[in-house]
Amino acid sequence: MGIDVSPNKVVTFNATHNRLVNTNIEQIPMEHEITGCKISCIFQRRKSSSGDGNPLIYALKGKDGYSISRRELTKFLGSFYVLLEKILGQKSADIIVPMPSSHPIALIIARRIARRMNNQVLILNNLFQKKTIDEVSSELEDLLQNSLLSKKECRSIEQLIARLGKVKGKMFSMKNVDIKSRAYINPLKLSLHSPEISMTLLRIIVVDDLVASGSTLSAAVNLLRELYPNAHIEGICLFSKL
C-alpha cells in the first residue's frame, strides 16, 4: 500500500505496491531512538529510484506543487488508525505535545491520540515555539567563541550563518539547513506560558509529522526534560526516517 505521483505532482493511493510510503497494516510500526527517547512511526518512508516518500507529506501540506484530493486522502485512514492502535496499545499519557508547525498535521494526530485515550489527557499545543533566524544566528555566533571547536567546525558554522543571512522570512526552519549542520542548532524554545505540573511521574507523548535528521525532536525532548525532569517521554510521528 504505497503512493503514485503523477507528472503534475498529484499524489494517489495505490494498494498494489509499497513504493515511496509503506502503509501496510501487517507491518510492525518502525521505531527510532532519539536522545534516549523511543519514537514510533505510523507510516514508513521508502527510498526508490523516483523519490523517497516526501511527496505525500508535501501534498498534505500543499507544498512544492504537490496535491492530494480529499477522496484519495480518505484511502489512507484505515491503515492510519490500525497502525496508530498498534503503537498505542496499552499506552497512556498525561500530556500530548504537538510540535510547532505552520501546518496542523501534528495537532490533528495529537487530537486523534487524545480521543483514543477518552480525552483524559492534556494537549499542550503551544508549549514550544520556533526560534527566529536572528536568534539561531546569534546562538551560532556565540558558539564560534567556543575554543573547543576545530577550524573545520568553525568554517562550517560561519558558512551556515552566511546561508541563514540569505534566507527570506523571519522564522527559522530546519529545511534551510543541511543535515550535517543541524547538530549545531537548537531550533526550539519554550513558550512563556509553560505550565507547572506537579506529578511524581509524568507521561508525555511528543507528536510530529516527520522524522528527518531527528534534530528538532531531540531539541524538544531535551527541553521537556528540563521542564519536567521526572517525566517519561515517548514520541509518535506520522512518517519514519528513510
In total, how many domains does the chain have?
2
Q: What is the pLDDT of residue 77?
A: 94
Give me the DSSP letters along 106-160. Answer: HHHHHHHHHHHTTT-SEE-TTSEEEPBHHHHHHHHHHHHT-TTS-HHHHHHHHHH
Query: Which of 157, 185, 213 finishes a domain?
Result: 185
CB neighbour class for 226 (10 Å; exposed up to 12, middle 13-18, buried from 19): exposed
Co-location of 56 and 158 in the same domain? no
pLDDT tens per residue across span 79-134: 999 999 999 997 889 999 999 888 899 999 999 999 999 878 999 998 998 999 99
In this structure, the number of other CB atoms found within 10 A of the CB of residue 220 comes to 26
Considering the domain architecture, whether residues 171 and 83 belong to the same structural domain is answered as: no
pLDDT at 48: 66
Residue 139's domain spans which residues? 132-185
Instruction: Assess whether 14 and 59 both reside in one domain.
Output: yes
Query: Considering 185, 205, 227, which residue would you say is the last residue of a domain?
Result: 185
Among the listed ranges 36-40, 47-51, 210-214, 226-230, which one has the minimum average pLDDT value? Answer: 47-51
Tell how strand 203-210 and strand 37-45 pair up.
unpaired
- 12, 214, 189, 121: CA torsion to nearest 10: 70
Is pLDDT above 70 for 199? no
- Both 146 and 43 in one domain: the answer is no
**C-alpha to C-alpha distance for 18 and 14, rounded to whole angstroms:** 8
Question: Residue 118 has what pLDDT?
Answer: 84
Q: Do 32 and 136 lie in a common domain?
A: no
Average pLDDT, the chain: 88
**Whether residue 156 is found in the same domain as residue 54:** no
Task: Supply the pLDDT for residue 95.
Answer: 93
Same domain membership, residue 149 and residue 35: no
Q: Which of 89, 103, 119 is nearest to 236 (CA)?
A: 89
The DSSP-derived string for 197-238 is: ---SS-EEEEEEEE-SSSHHHHHHHHHHHHH-TT-EEEEEEE
Q: Both 26 and 82 in a single domain?
A: yes
* Single-letter residue type at 43: F
- pLDDT per position as a tens digit, 128-169: 989 999 999 999 998 888 768 888 888 888 988 998 888 877
Same domain (yes/no): 203, 148: no
Rounded to whole angstroms, the Cα distance separating 185 from 164 reads 12
9 and 20 belong to one structural domain: yes
Query: 32-90, pLDDT tens digit by residue?
Result: 999 899 999 999 988 866 555 588 988 998 888 999 999 999 999 999 999 999 999 97
Which of 150, 167, 185 finishes a domain? 185
Classify 55 as helix, strand or coil: helix
pLDDT > 80? residue 24: yes
The predicted structure's pLDDT at residue 215: 86
Q: How confident is the model at residue 88, as a pLDDT?
A: 93
| The pLDDT of residue 230 | 86
Confirm if 172 and 132 have CB atoms less than 8 A apart: yes
What confidence score (pLDDT) does residue 172 get?
A: 87
Residue with C-alpha cell 512563556?
Answer: 192
pLDDT range class, residue 8, cuts 50, 70, 90: very high
Report which of residues 182 and 221 the model is more confident about: 221
Amino acid 109: pLDDT: 95
Looking at the fold, whether 198 and 81 belong to one and the same domain comes out as yes
Q: Are strands 37-45 and 232-239 parallel, antiparallel or unpaired?
A: parallel
163 and 224 share a domain?
no
Is the pLDDT at 200 greater than 90, yes or no? no
Contact 56, 46 (CB under 8 A): no
